[in-house]
Amino acid sequence: MVHRGSLMSAQRRQFIKGSAAFAAGAGITPGVWAAGSDAPEKKEVRIGFIPLTDCASVVMASVLKFDEKYGIKIIPTKEASWAGVRDKLVSGELDMAHVLYGLVYGVHLGLGGPKKDMAVLMTLNHNGQAITLSKKLADKGAVDGASLAKLMAGDKREYTFAQTFPTGTHAMWLYYWLAAAGINPMKDAKVITVPPPQMVANMRVGNMDGFCVGEPWNHRAIIDGIGITAVTSQDIWKDHPEKVLGTTSEFVKKNPNTARATVMAVLEASRWIDASLTNKNKMAEVIAEKAYVNTSVDAINQRILGRYQNGLGKTWDDPNHMKFFNDGAATYPYLSDGMWFLTQHKRWGLLKSHPDYLAVARQINQTELYKQAAAQLKVSVPKSELRSSKLIDGVVWDGKDPARYADDFKVNV
């Protein structure tokens, strides 16, 4: 029988040895971690999450005890709203959070709330969100962007759409999609903020015509017969960035080893989820529980396998369903991903002037720390910190001229 202490110290020695070699090879200045002890400064890590399918890698890192391998204990804490997550991150009540990409950037720049230097440790997932339109709108023929625009032009009234946080991902997908259809979200509609788990109930009582949210709440609206899926977020932007593992810059500076260990645990969970259908189904069973998403397993397990229906009889298999790992492509914190949210914040008037896009992304996205964690797990890292994508309106985003990109949209504030 191998004594746990000796096993841990052997692992630690190997970890330090590998880390030092990586640091030397990558031209990273060896810090305390590489030169001395890699022991996490903080053993317990409180990670906030919102009841959504894409909290899964954080939850499974804890449930499957991947965290223990790296000397930490992840304590997932269920939160009621993104505003609550923001406030608890800023105050330090939460160490980290499963959080909206654009929320982290918004807090860093002080948009509409407290300003604090923030950090993105890794991306948690790509894809897997959607825009739901009410069954009432669908009955009038509004089932996609073009037909919604036609209905709104012909049947004049106040149309209300909900997103989950003003600077967040869902707000930006909603605005982008509406604008691509010729609908100005700031002038032609009323936009409200609703926490994800409350979307379906609010649509049921007629508080909104449509909403953008993460799963399982779009599929739940179909199951409950109150909404239809008009578009998936991966149809707006294939392999778009979504939630991140976010924290404050201060936490990373004080606890670099803890931050790295947490990334490793969540990376391992991400890889585990994407490894097989069996694992995805197991994950769905776990996160459906009351302590996490609190819904039926069937509301979760179809779309994570890429099995979609729109609530109007159409079904399809979507190869671009929610990815948690995708050989490291879904977890790498690309600088261009963060910059994109800033371009949209500028487009919609949340930012009054152009920031130094690349400098802000470099401040927030902890690419070196991520690379160190990835090297330990032999996870592939992309060659470039920028990537290129074509969005639903045919416009290409590659991160190379963000100010021009932000200014070139025909529909804006």
Q: What is the pLDDT of residue 175?
A: 98
Which residue in the block uniquely carries the two structure tokens 């487009």? 347
For residue 114, the enclosing domain spans: 4-126+242-295+355-381
In a domain, 314, yes or no: no
In the predicted structure, residue 384 carries a pLDDT above the cut 90: yes
Q: What is the pLDDT of residue 103?
A: 98
Range among 1-10, 17-26, 148-157 with highest mean pLDDT value: 148-157
CATH of the domain at 286: 3.40.190.10
Q: What is the pLDDT of residue 32?
A: 37
Q: What is the pLDDT of residue 37?
A: 77
Beta strands in 8-149 (DSSP E): 44-49, 73-78, 96-100, 118-123, 129-134
In a domain, 23, yes or no: yes
In the predicted structure, residue 374 carries a pLDDT above the cut 80: yes
pLDDT mean over 289-316: 97
In a domain, 39, yes or no: yes
In the predicted structure, residue 364 carries a pLDDT above the cut 80: yes
Q: What is the pLDDT of residue 2?
A: 36
Residue 274: band (very low, low, confident or very high) from pLDDT cuts 50, 70, 90: very high
- Using DSSP, state whether 95 is helix, strand or coil: coil
Alpha-carbon gap, residue 337 to 388, rounded angstroms: 10
Alpha-carbon gap, residue 224 to 200, rounded angstroms: 9
Residue 337: band (very low, low, confident or very high) from pLDDT cuts 50, 70, 90: very high
Alpha-carbon gap, residue 320 to 267, rounded angstroms: 20
In a domain, 200, yes or no: no
In a domain, 342, yes or no: no
Alpha-carbon gap, residue 134 to 226, rounded angstroms: 6
Residue 12: band (very low, low, confident or very high) from pLDDT cuts 50, 70, 90: very low
In a domain, 249, yes or no: yes
In degrees to the nearest 10, what's the CA dihedral of 304, 274, 77, 265?
A: -170
Q: What is the pLDDT of residue 16?
A: 33
Q: What is the pLDDT of residue 25?
A: 33
In the predicted structure, residue 9 carries a pLDDT above the cut 80: no
In a domain, 214, yes or no: no
Classify the phi-psi angles of 399: left when phi > 0, otherwise alpha if psi is within -120 to 50, otherwise beta: left
Q: What is the pLDDT of residue 112?
A: 85
Alpha-carbon gap, residue 107 to 272, rounded angstroms: 31
In the predicted structure, residue 43 carries a pLDDT above the cut 70: yes
pLDDT mean over 316-332: 98
Give the DSSP per-residue string, 163-226. Answer: ES-TTSHHHHHHHHHHHHTT--TTTSSEEEE--GGGHHHHHHTTS-SEEEEETTHHHHHHHTTS
Domains contained in the chain, number = 1
Q: What is the pLDDT of residue 11?
A: 39
In the predicted structure, residue 15 carries a pLDDT above the cut 60: no
In a domain, 213, yes or no: no
Residue 6: band (very low, low, confident or very high) from pLDDT cuts 50, 70, 90: very low
Spatial CA neighbour of 130 closest among 244, 237, 289: 237
